[in-house]
Amino acid sequence: MHGDAYDLMEKLEPESIDLLITSPPYWGLRSYGQEHNEEILKEWLAEDESRVQTDVPPYEWYRAHGGVLGLEPLPEWFVAHLVEILQRGAAALKAEGSMWINIGDTYFARWSSIRHDGRQGLGDNPRSRRRTPMGGFRQEKQLLLIPARFAIAMQDQRWIVRNDLIWHKPNVPPRPEKDRLRLGHEHFFHFVKRPKEGRPKYYYDMSKVEPGALDVVKTMARSGSDGHSATFPTDLITPRILSSCPPGGTVLDPFCGTGRALSVAAANGRRGIGFELHEPFHQAATANVAKVVKATAPPQQRTTTKRKKKTEE
Ligand SMILES: C[S@@+](CC[C@H](N)C(=O)[O-])C[C@H]1O[C@@H](n2cnc3c(N)ncnc32)[C@H](O)[C@@H]1O
């Protein structure tokens, strides 16, 4: 579905999703073709003199004033908006469902660069510079720990964290910094619902995870497809989909990009629903999923279609 996950989450049937798996925009990296209002912090503060920078506007206000998810002036705003959007999908997730969220970290810099797309340091993507307000933990050279802040904010909304899976990317490009190690991992959090009473119970097929089943998975970051460079690696998400969604169940990716999670779901006998704001990615996702559905249609169905054609001839 083409649109903003914030709106589309509300259209889902209650208790209809087995697995929500996604990789949202990360903070302060890419615009994904959206125009962002860089004056938004000033506008928010000007509306009410008693406000301070870290008072977060609701996502609806933010979007109405030209704000783009991932380009919030402060990481605190980003974390709050991401949690707000995911919370809108909570009722649609079955009680025994799972949420897997892949999120990477960012270093703070007073002056930072935003790309339309592309991994940091990979490719020659156009970028724009912007100034981010300093204060509190937002200091030069600081690793912002956004994944941890996000996971804690989710815990505060009653979610239970079952795993903080580390995606180890052995092929990250070289960096110019001479005073720190290269960031070679991202987080993939597994959240489940906290029941009103008792311990959480959720679907999990342990026979479908990686052999050895550690919470560290080594997978190359690849350059992506259809002009989108943050594409999910198939080998990272296939075990998550097979172990956290029963056969015939429904997978939701609310920031689906070119639809990799949906394609993997379709190729493995699961249904898929995806949301994407950027129209070219939405079209690419639709085409990619259609290809997989066609290729994996049961042989019976294909034979029937052929026979039908012959009879018609
Ligand atoms: C990190 S990428 C996801 C890539 C995806 N996992 C794949 O394999 O192609 C995040 C995606 O979210 C989309 N997006 C950003 N804000 C959105 C919003 N509010 N609603 C829906 N999609 C959004 C971006 O256009 C981008 O394609």
SS (H, E, C) the chain: CECCHHHHHHHCCCCCEEEEEECCCCCCCECCCCCCCCCHHHHHHHHCCCCCCCCCCCHHHHHHCCCCCCCCCCHHHHHHHHHHHHHCCHHHEEEEEEEEEEECCCECCCEEEEECCCCCCCCCCCEEEEECCCECCECCCCECCHHHHHHHHHHHCCCEEEEEEEEECCCCCCCCCCCCCCCCEEEEEEEECCCCCCCCCCCCCHHHCCCCCCCEEECCCCCCECCECCCCCHHHHHHHHHHHCCCCCEEEECCCCCCHHHHHHHHCCCEEEECECCHHHHHHHHHHHHHHHHHCCCHHHHHHHHHHHHHHC
Q: What tens-digit pLDDT sequence spans the chain (313 residues)?
A: 999 999 999 999 999 999 999 999 999 888 788 899 999 999 999 999 999 999 999 999 999 999 999 999 999 999 999 999 999 999 999 999 999 999 999 999 998 887 766 444 444 556 778 889 999 999 999 999 999 999 999 999 999 999 999 999 999 989 999 999 999 999 999 999 999 999 999 999 999 999 999 999 999 987 777 777 679 999 999 999 999 999 999 999 999 999 999 999 999 999 999 999 999 999 999 999 999 999 988 777 655 555 555 554 4
> How far is 37 from 222, CA to CA, in rounded Å?
31
In tens, the pLDDT along 272-300 reads: 999 999 999 999 999 999 999 999 887 77
Hey, is 136 helix, strand or coil?
A: coil
Domains of the chain: 5-312 (3.40.50.150)
Atom of ligand 1 nearest to the CA of 260: 8
Q: What is the pTM of this model?
A: 0.92
Identify which of 102, 81, 91 has the alpha carbon closest to the alpha carbon of residue 13.
Answer: 91
> How far is 239 from 19, CA to CA, in rounded Å?
12
* Residue located nearest, by CA, to atom 18 of ligand 1: 4
* Residue located nearest, by CA, to atom 16 of ligand 1: 69
Atom of ligand 1 nearest to the CA of 253: 6
Helix then strand then coil, in percent of the chain rounded to 5, is 30, 20, 45
One-letter identity of residue 81: H
In tens, the pLDDT along 55-114 reads: 999 999 999 999 999 999 999 999 999 999 999 999 999 999 999 999 999 999 998 887
Q: Which of 219, 264, 277 to mutate to test the pocket of ligand 1 (most atoms within 8 A of CB)?
A: 277
> How far is 12 from 105, CA to CA, in rounded Å?
30
Is the CB of 224 inside a 6 Å radius of any atom of ligand 1? no
